[in-house]
Amino acid sequence: MKNLGVNVDHVGTLRNARGEKHPDPLLVAKQAINFGADSITIHLREDRRHIKDEDLIKLSKTKIPLNLEIACNYKMMKIALKYNPNFVCLVPEKREELTTEGGLNLIKNYKKIKFIIKKLNKKKIRTSLFINPTIKDIKYSKKINSNCIEIHTGKLSSLIKEKKNYKNELNKIKNCAKFAKALGLEVHAGHGMDYKTTQILAKISEIKEFNIGHFIIGEAISVGLKEVIRKIKKSIKK
């Protein structure tokens, strides 16, 4: 059985566009779980562009299985240790990027990441590293003692969307998933996924969890439009 983590960051993006309280990431998180999601992912970015500390505090008080994505630094580590989410995924973070563009540089940040993972493991928080699909990064993830890896599927997703040949990238992901599972790492995947990417990646039996955000939230806007228009029209008619 594969698990689905729903990333609600972009509910925060939409809310922040007006600086008010609607739509509410907490409410959407509860609904996502009611509709069958297995966990909720939030990325507390250092610039707080979508999810804010308040969102993390509220979500951490619920029973919702929470996956917190954070940049690899001690300040964010302390926040994670304080709010004790079920899972933490370390991700690279650049202020100027629109989204998490690639996997972690495990060699450059080896000592720091190992220390942060040790602290989180000690608190029994399930740990994960967001990495590119390379055997080298999987070997490093194992050396770092992470419980899981999350394979960045951004490149594969773009190739599929642009109708380009994606075989090589898919094979890389397949091989990495097999290799990681054989080493005892739990394998997750995410970034840029939509219906088609999900169908393709779901065939890889070693992947245990998908984390999907932008597409689910974006798609929910058009799928949910019918009911909202119906309600507003009903009010107008009164």
Distance CA 26, CA 58 (A): 7
Q: Choose between 26 and 189: whose C-beta lies nearer to ligand PXP.
A: 189
Among 55, 69, 169, 209, binds ligand PXP (CB under 6 A): 69
Q: Choose between 35 and 237: whose C-beta lies nearer to ligand PXP.
A: 35
Q: Is 10 a catalytic residue?
A: no
Q: Choose between 25 and 192: whose C-beta lies nearer to ligand PXP.
A: 192
Q: Is 69 a catalytic residue?
A: yes
Q: Choose between 46 and 229: whose C-beta lies nearer to ligand PXP.
A: 46
**192: contact with ligand PXP by CB under 6 A:** yes
Catalytic residue among 10, 152, 188, 191: 191
120 half-sphere exposure, CB direction, 13 A CA radius:
36
Segment contacting ligand PXP (CB under 6 A): 53-61, 105-113, 174-182, 205-213? 205-213
Least CB distance to ligand PXP at residue 79 (A): 17
Distance CA 50, CA 48 (A): 6
Subset of residues 4 to 63 that bind ligand PXP, contact rule: CB under 6 A:
7, 9, 43
Q: Is 43 a catalytic residue?
A: yes
Among 88, 191, 197, 204, binds ligand PXP (CB under 6 A): 191
Just list the catalytic residues.
Answer: 43, 69, 191
